[in-house]
Amino acid sequence: MAKVTFLSGETIPLEMHKVRMVQKVNLLPVEDRLDRMQEAGFNTFLLKNRDVFLDMLTDSGVNAMSENQYAAMMQADDSYAGSETYYRLEAVLQDMFGLEHFLPAHQGRACENIIAQTLVKPGSVALMNYHFTTTAAHILRNGGTLEEIIIDEGRSIQSTHPFKGNLDIAKLNEAIARLGRENISFVRIEAGTNLVGGQPVSVENMRAVSQICRTAGIPVVYDASLLADNLYFIKTREAEFADVSLRDITREIASLMDVIYFSARKLGSSRGGGILTSDTKLFAQMRELIPLFEGFLTYGGMSVREMEALTVGLRETLDLDVINQTPIFVEAMCNELIAKGIPVVTPPGGLGCHVDAGAFCDHIPQSKYPSGALASALYIASGVRGMERGTLSEARNKDGTERLADMELVRLAIPKRVYTYSQVKYTADRLAWLFENRHLIGGLAFEEEPSVLRFFFGRLKPVGDWPEKLATQFRKDFGESL
Ligand code: F0G
């Protein structure tokens, strides 16, 4: 954000771009929102976009693209093999990260599939700051397990720690000593740790992890999907890097890793994914799987047009005015909510604003999915679609019992450069109303429960008639207002 001071002394997030293409959105009356939520089985993934006012489900594949990204799409070289588009993308990635080899894949979880198939042996353990849903699923699918070694502050919802995504070095050393190097498939560092509230990892921490792993001969895998936010936090919170360019910070991080992968639905604001490594042997092993699961080596399941957009999007990721928009909006939204007494994850991270559904709905037990209930209630109250990030997003234990999440969160993702400040303020206002009426929100129970990644397609029903009561109260309090 440009350094601009307002006459009043107030600061608001100032957009460093102008909007030149728009999409109309609908805000349905509360009675219709109630019907749509019921039809969607109280799962925000199953809502139709036409019924959603502000889509804060995710920033994945829905970030605004720049004019230069659209322009680049027009010069895509559409060919199965040897496309110029591929070589342009490869060159930008090599320059940005300084690693030798690049493998394209159709999205982030596809990279996870390739990496897990290559590195995870049955019975092995992957150590990581924190899991992501798809990451965990691929490790388990290949017969491995995982252990999370995030610092204790990472699991506390409210904190002032600037890098809550850091790995705990004592836990890392202990795990290596206990498990034995040969039983550890890899150590994974997730930038902008998604499921604990988009919390960053410091370069200092990555240096320490890398040194230990290199001494022990354990590969370090870096999930760079949320690198943009993490770079912003390194630049603004880690004193050593205040005057270091984003490219040099990226290169320093990359030099500490053995494998880097990313979802281009997040990094580079396009769609697709990729894996980078300088390890020639690992590269050869992973390369064999690309034509099998993704596509030929010069597109890997991506459209060439998206690859061109990604090439430009990656370059733009190294521009602070581009990448600071999300964290600054997240901070502004969190501050609005905190001022209204609503519990959120602090310090504000990247990706989105994370509401503490456990505290918000402390009358709903975890087994009745408070985060799912709050996400449903928010849609009914506002037409805003958030994402459940709590017990519903966990897989059951092998014996069928619930694995209760460390945190019950509702994530309100802020797709890059998509929403305006007044839309953020509207969301905060409706959340404030919901907070005043939180006793009206009740729990949820499964009606249809898929066995894998159940949060995507699962259908639920409310415990009691609380959704109707909530809609009635809304009408009473807001009159004719949408
Ligand atoms: N790693 C991280 C940290 C992610 O946030 C995601 C996706 C993936 C891997 C998988 O990438 O979707 O391209 O296959 N996160 C999305 C989200 C889905 O909504 O946070 P993908």
| Residue linked to tokens 């459940």 | 388
AA letter at 321? D
Look at residue 392 and tell me whether its pLDDT is greater than 60.
yes
Query: Ligand 1 pocket, 107 CB below 6 A?
Result: yes
Please give the pLDDT value at position 4.
80
Beta strand pairing status for 145-148 and 387-389? unpaired
Amino acid at 296: F
- Report whether residue 346 contacts ligand 1, using a CB cutoff of 6 Å: no
Q: Is the CB of residue 280 less than 8 Å from the CB of residue 103?
A: no
Residue 265 CA: nearest ligand 1 atom is 13
- The residue whose CA has the least distance to atom 12 of ligand 1 is 108
| Local confidence band at 367 (pLDDT 50, 70, 90 cut-offs) | very high
Pocket test for ligand 1, best of 133, 229, 263, 275 (most atoms within 8 A of CB): 263
Given this model, what pLDDT does residue 93 score? 98
Q: What are phi and psi of 377, to 5 degrees?
A: -65, -40
* 273 CB within 6 A, ligand 1: yes
pLDDT at 12: 83
Ligand 1: which of 129, 133, 265 to mutate, most ligand atoms within 8 Å of CB? 265
Which residues have a Cβ under 8 Å from the Cβ of 82 and sit 6 or more positions away? 298
Q: CA-CA distance, 200 to 222, in Å (whole number)? A: 13
Centroid of ligand 1 to alpha carbon of 107 (angstroms): 8
Q: Rounded to the nearest whole angstrom, what is the distance from the C-alpha of residue 223 to the centroid of ligand 1? A: 10
Flag whether pLDDT at 381 surpasses 60: yes
pLDDT attached to residue 290:
98
Identify the pLDDT of residue 453: 86
* CA 438–ligand 1 middle distance (angstroms): 30
Listing DSSP states for 15-27 in one string gives -SS----------
Q: From ligand 1's centre to the CA of 60, what distance in Å? A: 7
Q: What domains are defined for the chain?
A: 30-59+322-478 (3.90.1150.10), 67-318 (3.40.640.10)
Please, which residues have CB within 8 angstroms of residue 202's CB and are 6 or more apart in sequence?
Answer: 162, 163, 166, 234, 237, 238
Q: How far is CA 406 from CA 84, 346, 403, 436, 451, in A?
A: 46, 15, 9, 25, 21
Rounded to whole angstroms, how far apart are CA atoms 53 and 451?
Answer: 31
Average pLDDT for residues 348-371, to the nearest whole number? Answer: 97
Q: Using a 6 Å cutoff on CB, does residue 133 contact ligand 1? A: no
Residue-wise pLDDT for 41-57, tens only, equals: 999 999 999 999 999 99
pLDDT score of 301: 97
CA 425, distance to chain mean position in Å, is 22
Quick one: what percent of the chain has pLDDT higher than 90? 94
Tokens of residue 21, six digits: 């293409």
pLDDT-derived band at 292 (thresholds 50, 70, 90) equals: very high
**Best residue among 106, 115, 132 to mutate for probing ligand 1, ranked by most atoms within 8 Å of CB:** 132
Instruction: Tell which phi-psi region holds residue 332, choosing left (phi > 0), alpha (psi between -120 and 50) or beta.
Output: alpha
Nearest CA to ligand 1 atom 10: 108
Q: Is 202 in the pocket of ligand 1 (CB under 6 A)?
A: no
Q: Is the Cβ atom of 55 under 6 angstroms away from ligand 1?
A: no
Would the CB of 261 count as within 6 Å of ligand 1?
Answer: no
Kindly indicate the confidence band of residue 452, based on its pLDDT and cuts at 50, 70 and 90: confident
128 sits in which H/E element: strand 125-128
Query: What is the β-pairing status of strands 409-413 and 387-389?
Result: antiparallel
* Strand partners for 344: 355
pLDDT of residue 1: 56
Our mutation pick for probing the ligand 1 site, out of 199, 266, 294, 310, counting the most ligand atoms within 8 A of Cβ, is 266
263 lines ligand 1 (CB under 6 A): yes
pLDDT in the model for residue 184: 98
pLDDT value, residue 60: 96
The answer to whether the CB of 92 falls within 8 A of the CB of 311 is yes
Lookup: tokens for 447: 């009606």
* Tokens 């990359």 found at: 254
Matching residue, tokens 């349905």: 28
Percent of the chain exceeding pLDDT 70 equals 99
176 touches 216 (CB < 8 A)? yes
Q: How far is the CA of 83 from the centre of ligand 1 (A)?
A: 27
Query: Cα–Cα distance between 60 and 265 in angstroms, integer?
Result: 5
Report how far residue 427's alpha carbon sits from residue 308's, in angstroms, rounded to the nearest whole number.
34
Helix (H) or strand (E) holding 37: helix 30-39
* Residue 124 Cα to ligand 1 middle (Å): 23
Looking up tokens 């493998």 gives: 103
Residue whose CA is closest, atom 11 of ligand 1? 108
What is the C-alpha end-to-end distance of the chain, expressed in Å?
32
Query: Which tokens hold the place of 455?
Result: 């949060």
Q: What is the mean pLDDT of the chain?
A: 96
Q: Which atom in ligand 1 lies closest to the alpha carbon of residue 59? A: 19
Cβ 455 under 6 angstroms from ligand 1: no
Each residue of 302-356: pLDDT tens digit? 999 999 999 999 999 999 999 999 999 999 999 999 999 999 999 999 999 999 9
What pLDDT sits at residue 398?
A: 87
pTM equals 0.95
pLDDT digits (tens, 9 = 90+) for 147-187: 999 999 999 999 999 999 999 999 999 999 999 999 999 99
Q: CB of 435 closer than 6 A to ligand 1?
A: no
410 pLDDT higher than 70: yes
Average pLDDT rounded to a whole number, residues 375-403: 95
Does the CB atom of residue 354 touch ligand 1 within 6 A?
Answer: no
**3-state secondary structure (DSSP) of residue 126:** strand
Residues with catalytic function: 80, 132-133, 223, 266, 389, 455
Q: pLDDT per residue over 2-39, tens digit each?
A: 568 888 988 888 889 999 999 999 999 999 999 999 99
Cross-strand partners of 54: 384
List pLDDT tens digits, range 427-442.
999 999 999 999 999 9
Instruction: State how far the Cα of 195 lies from the Cα of 370, in Å rounded to an integer.
Output: 16
Q: Give pLDDT, residue 278.
A: 98
Segment 83-92, tens digit of pLDDT: 999 999 999 9
User: CA-to-CA distance for 82 and 248, rounded, in angstroms?
Assistant: 30
The pLDDT, as a whole number, for residue 45 is: 98
pLDDT at 6: 86
Residue 13: predicted pLDDT:
86
